[in-house]
A and B are shown apart, each in its own frame.
Chain A
Amino acid sequence: MFKYIQADPVQTVQDTLAHAEKSSDSDWILHHILDSRYVDFEPFGSIPLPQIHLFGLDLSITKHVVFMWITALLLILVFSIVTKTYKKSLIPKGFSNLIELLVVFVRDDIARPTIGKGFEKFLPYLLTVFFFILTGNFLGLLPYSATVTSNISVTATLAALSFIVTQAGGIMKNGFWGYFKGLIPHGVPAFLLPVMFVVEVMGLFTRPFALAIRLFANMTAGHIVILALIGLIFILQTYFVAPVSIAFALFIYLLEILVALIQAYIFTMLSSLFIGMAVHQEH
């Protein structure tokens, strides 16, 4: 009879810890933040999404992919409607006015001061990035939706695109060797040249990395704070904490709206700054 009882105390403690870890209180926070293979459609249940494995790569459709498609569709719809109103007259009214406000803001306050001459070539890319991040951030604030930009893969891709546009712009303007020669500032003594070159090349790579992490961390942190505040009601198992909890969560929600706008602006402005530094290297 006794050989079926586990007599090893170390193993028992480890098993208890493992069991406690699996059923922890914070799993539901991760469930709301991370990607998943089904979309919650609340009154009707969840919709499982197709899993596609091609050439050994996992290309399945996940929740964030669906929301990226929704973002893209929203942007295509909005901009095709807005550009049609420009056929009638160049002075926009109503909704086109709002979109023109944002476009002129990106052109005059972000692209022109930082890139200077020849900024028109980079304007389509900067506008695309700005509106995609803005729409993605705002969509994530709606209930039952996922924040696309809180996925590190999405922000890493956006940062990689910025990197490609920066290097391509710099190399096309200055020539391949001219671009790398221009990375090193003037008046540097000859023995420092290898060190400076390595430092500058490392700087080229750390900037997109910082762009990706900044956007990802800002979006994820905001959502975790809101979820943790509202989750206090469930963790403490009492209704009396609800007014305080909801008041704080509302304040953080308003802050999140501000952060969504600011992060779109910062990503676009830093991308445009790096493009300006690559294209006009003499500054």
Chain B
Amino acid sequence: MEFAYLAAGFGAALTVIGGAFGIGKLASSAMDASGRQPEAAGDIRTSMIIAAALIEGISLFALVICILLALKS
């Protein structure tokens, strides 16, 4: 029974859900804040990109584990 491929698929899907949810919430707060104070839009954009890269880093940790699972079997 080759469950490793199934586990890799499920793992990647759940990770993407978590990452997309987090970055979506982040982007929505950034839009709200930019709308409220347009002159701070540049700073907000920079912080948003940094936070998005960090959240993406976490989801890519899980992706690395899924790739290891899929390649080992």
Contacts and interface: CB of A to CB of B under 8 A. Distances in A.
Contacts of A221: 60, 63
Interface of B: 49-50, 53-54, 56-57, 60-61, 63-64, 67, 71
Nearest to A211: B57
Nearest to A21: B73
A205 to B, nearest CB: 15
A213 interface: yes
Interface in A192-224: 210, 213-214, 216-218, 220-221
B50 A217 contact: no
Interface of A: 30, 210, 213-214, 216-218, 220-221, 262-263, 265-266, 269
B60 A266 contact: no
B61 A262 contact: no
Contact of B63 (A217, A263, A265): A217
Contacts of A214: 53-54, 57, 60-61
A220 B68 CA distance: 13
Contacts of A217: 57, 60-61, 63-64
Given A213-B60, A213-B61, A266-B54, 10 more contacts: A30-B71, A210-B57, A210-B61, A213-B57, A214-B53, A214-B54, A214-B57, A217-B61, A218-B57, A221-B60
Interface residue SS majority, chain B: helix
A45 B70 CA distance: 31
Contacts of B54: 214, 266
20 contacts: A30-B71, A210-B61, A213-B60, A213-B61, A213-B64, A214-B54, A214-B60, A217-B60, A217-B61, A217-B64, A218-B57, A220-B64, A220-B67, A221-B60, A221-B63, A262-B49, A265-B50, A266-B50, A266-B54, A266-B57
A217 B63 CA distance: 8
B64 A266 contact: no
Contacts of A216: 64
A13 B42 CA distance: 61
Nearest to A109: B46
A15 B60 CA distance: 34
Nearest to B71: A30
Contacts of B64: 213, 216-217, 220
B60 to A, nearest CB: 3
A129 B40 CA distance: 30
B15 to A, nearest CB: 11
A214 B49 CA distance: 15
B45 to A, nearest CB: 12
A262 B53 contact: yes
A218 B56 contact: yes
Contacts of A265: 50
A160 to B, nearest CB: 18
